[in-house]
Amino acid sequence: MTDSFGTVVAQVAEVDATGPVPRVAHVWAAADPGYVMNPDGFIAQIESGIIYGLTAALYGEITIEDGAVMQSNFHDYEMLRIDEAPEITVELINSGARRGGGGEPGTPPIAPAVANAVFGATGQRVRDLPLRNESGGFT
C-alpha cells in the first residue's frame, strides 16, 4: 500500500512461482484518489501502471558494457507481453479526500505485492529486482 501523487493504492498479487520467473496470474488493486470523475479512464490508468510496474519488477534491467548502455530500444529491452499480463481487478474508493493523481499511482505497489506473493508461495524473500535475476529461481 502506498500514497502516490495523492492517491492511496493497495495491491495484492497472486503468483505462480514454480518457474524461474514468477508468473503473475491476478492483481487486485484498491485506489482512493478522493473522487473519480471518469471511472473507466482512472481504472485504465491503474491497470497500465500495474503493467508498467510488472515490466520493471520482472524484467527491468539496463546493462552497461564498456561504458555504454546495451539496450538501444524496445527490441532489446524485455517488456511484459500481453500473453504474460495478469487479470487485473480494480476497486475505486470515492472517499471525498483531496483529489490525487491517476497516471502513476498504480506502479509503486506492484513490485512489493509480487515479492510478498512469492514469499507466501515459496517462503523465499525477494531481495533484488528484477525478479528474473533471483539466483536459483523459485520453487
Tell me the CA distances in angstroms from 117 to 18, 33, 92, 137, one per residue in order.
12, 25, 22, 15
Contact 98, 34 (CB under 8 A): yes
CA–CA gap between residue 80 and residue 59 (Å, rounded): 8
Write the pLDDT tens digit of every residue in 74-91: 888 888 999 999 999 999
In the block, which residue shows the cell 508498467?
Answer: 52
Question: What is the rounded CA–CA span in Å between residue 22 and residue 14?
Answer: 10
Q: What is the pLDDT of residues 4-22, one digit of tens each?
A: 999 999 999 999 988 877 8
Domain ranges of the chain: 2-133
The CATH code of the domain at 2-133 is: 3.30.365.10
Residues 116 and 36: their CA atoms lie apart, in Å, by 29
| pLDDT tens digits for range 14-65 | 999 888 778 999 999 999 999 999 999 999 999 999 999 999 999 888 889 9
